[in-house]
Structure 1
Amino acid sequence: MASIFYKWLIIFSAAFSGFHHPVFVSVTEINYNAAGKTLEISCKIFTDDFEQTLRQQNKTKVDLLDPALKNAMNPLVNKYIQKHLQIAADDKKCTLQFLGFEQQEEGIISYFQVNDITAVKKITVTNNILYDTKPQQMQIIHVMVKGERKSTRLNNPDETAGFEF
């Protein structure tokens, strides 16, 4: 009973105190699609942190939630992620193709694809998303190859993880 009370107290306090989320994390998922010979990549970042970073770096109005600004925001999202997320498959640098982004819950999910990946035994990920503006930022990375899932966490300043299948 007491734990329910404390949960409600935290929720109530957060709702009325201008609460900002206490965790700074992005989640990157990489899935190898053998049939399509592609790597499918999604990257979820808290909207408020991402917008703040894009504003600071681009010195322009940023609103990732306004549908009227979607076309103007696409290049900002693409450029930032391309700069801060690099992937190598079997020691060959991959070229990320930007597919777009969408808002989901409190985050922005951006989508990328890498074509012409016939097989993969090793994936190396360099990810320093928001490290430049959020010193406490961490990255969660999930990689799925042929049904086998591997995951890791990187804490700023660590930015590189390797996965072997």
Structure 2
Amino acid sequence: MKNIFVLISLIGCSIGLFSFFHPIHLSVSEVNFNQETKSIEISSKVFIDDLEEGVQLIGGPELHLFTEKEVTNSEEWINKYFEENFKIKINDKEKAFLWVGKETDQNRDIQAVWVYLEITGVKKVKELTIENSLLYDVHADQRNMLHLKCNGTKKSWLFDLKKSIETIHW
């Protein structure tokens, strides 16, 4: 009986550790062309610990996101990381992002962060190229799912180390 209790305890601890270290390395991004505001709206959900490690790999500090120790310029570092690893070309011209913000859901998902970016002044999209290499420097098995809404088209892609660029024409 004692052995069964020990075995159940070990299994429970193992499951807890696996959920804490999230063995799935996946980000999810949404890219939407808002014709009313003439902007591309970008939302990306990534694991906090992976993003923090990615920032450190480009020379940034330990961010301590959503804690009392969070560095004051954490948003600048996250933006820089996205600029290097998430690129958008519109009509064959690379576009720069504007930082909108970041948030996490403290009640439901404290392991992930939503990052919001925007590209303004987009009158018309004839061709869109997206390069998504987020967190490839952190995990070799990283996958990045992307959902696009633009010009009445809905499209989804799954990016990985072998394929990190997609182009769509209208």
TM-fit CA distance, 1:117:
0.7
Q: TM-score, normalised by structure 2?
A: 0.81
Aligned to 2:64: 63
Partner amino acid for 1:159? S
Aligned to 2:79: 78
Within 5 Å, give how 1:144-155 maps onto structure 2: 144-155=149-160
TM-fit CA distance, 1:38:
0.4
Q: Is the 8 A contact 2:63 2:71 kept in 1?
A: no
Number of matched pairs? 156
Q: Is the 8 A contact 1:143 1:163 kept in 2?
A: no
Q: What SS does the corresponding residue of 1:102 show, helix, strand or coil?
A: strand
Aligned to 1:158: 163
The yes-or-no answer on 1:135 pairing with 2:140 is yes
TM-fit CA distance, 1:11:
7.7
Q: What SS does the corresponding residue of 1:69 show, helix, strand or coil?
A: coil
Q: Give the share of equivalent positions with the same residue, in percent.
A: 26
Q: State the alpha-carbon separation in 2 of the partners of residues 54 and 134 from structure 1.
A: 13
TM-fit CA distance, 1:18:
6.7
Q: Report the RMSD for the aligned CA atoms in angstroms.
A: 2.2
| Cα distance change of structure 1 residues 124 and 11 upon mapping to structure 2, 3 Å threshold | farther
Q: State the alpha-carbon separation in 1 of the partners of residues 115 and 41 from structure 2.
A: 11
Q: What SS does the corresponding residue of 2:129 show, helix, strand or coil?
A: strand
Q: State the alpha-carbon separation in 1 of the partners of residues 121 and 17 from structure 2.
A: 50
Aligned to 2:55: 54
Runs of 5+ unmatched residues, structure 1:
1-9
| Cα distance change of structure 1 residues 27 and 58 upon mapping to structure 2, 3 Å threshold | same
- Greater radius of gyration (CA): 2
**Greater CA deviation, 118-127 or 31-40?**
118-127
TM-fit CA distance, 1:57:
3.3
**Greater CA deviation, 25-34 or 11-20?**
11-20
